[in-house]
Amino acid sequence: MRVVSLVPSLTEAVARSASGALVGATDWCTHPAGLDVARVGGTKNPKLDRILALAPDLVIANEEENRARDLAALREAGVEVLLTEVRDVPQAFRELRRMLDACGVAGAPRWLDEAEAAWSALPATERRTAVVPIWRRPWMVLGRDTFAGDVLARLGVDHLYAGHAERYPRIPVEELRAAGPDVVVLPDEPYRFTAEDGPEAFPGLPCALVSGRHLTWYGPSLAEAPRALREALRAARR
């Protein structure tokens, strides 16, 4: 089996579960550390010639992260493409099992069982409201029907734009501040918010700097995500 992954979190899942099968990944595939496979460009601009040169049996993609025209070109070239769709935590687990089965992995790997256990044993918590910027210049936030939004909701955090018509709406920062959230959640991807870049835009509001890998990736990081995100949310201070 020869697999090329165009999704960083799924790259990590394949590498952890069927490392010999993975022959190519994007430039953004950073986990596991020291991953030694051919690089095929970005998630939005993969080098199709590099992918085809690897003669993959399967290319793994995601309907949100990858462009339909690139996947169509691969299919026209005779390559099988497995397209995943992930909008919430239960769907992530279903898609991971489907993807690993397609890669020839027999049975659930240990990390997947641990991740499902971690998300099925969440303690009750007081609910808070949040805004969740994912970009600035212009400011963009989580909107409706997102995996990251479902992750936060399961941890007791309801983001205020969950009912917006768009999935990633552009909202002026003045409106974000005026919404009066209990906490502003600032991930380090896709925009890299830091202690020096982000919180200053929300004076007087608690800001939680969180790992984008734990908030938005659906793979082995799901096992540690509940603990890591809860700790970051508790650490938020005015």
Report the pLDDT value the prediction gives residue 237, as an integer from 0 to 100: 55
Cis peptide before 226 (omega within 30 of 0): no
- Mean pLDDT, residues 152-181 taken together: 96
Q: Same structural domain for residues 72 and 140?
A: no
Q: What is the CATH number of the domain that holds 67?
A: 3.40.50.1980
Q: Same structural domain for residues 95 and 141?
A: no
Distance CA 91, CA 149 (A): 13
Q: How far is CA 7 from the centre of its chain?
A: 9
- Mean pLDDT, residues 141-149 taken together: 96
User: What confidence tens digit (pLDDT) does each residue in 177-218 have?
Assistant: 999 999 999 999 999 999 999 999 999 999 999 999 999 999
Q: Same structural domain for residues 8 and 90?
A: yes
Report the pLDDT value the prediction gives residue 200, as an integer from 0 to 100: 96
Q: Same structural domain for residues 171 and 220?
A: yes
Q: How far is CA 91 from the centre of its chain?
A: 13
Among candidate residues 57, 73, 108, the one where a domain is terminated: 108
Report the pLDDT value the prediction gives residue 215, as an integer from 0 to 100: 97
- CA distances, 231 to each of 4, 61, 90, 202, 225 (Å): 34, 31, 22, 21, 10
The boundaries of the domain holding residue 218 are 128-234
Q: Same structural domain for residues 132 and 104?
A: no
Q: Same structural domain for residues 103 and 21?
A: yes
Quick check: helix, strand or coil at residue 211?
coil
Q: Same structural domain for residues 166 and 86?
A: no
User: What confidence tens digit (pLDDT) does each residue in 54-72 have?
Assistant: 999 999 999 999 999 999 9
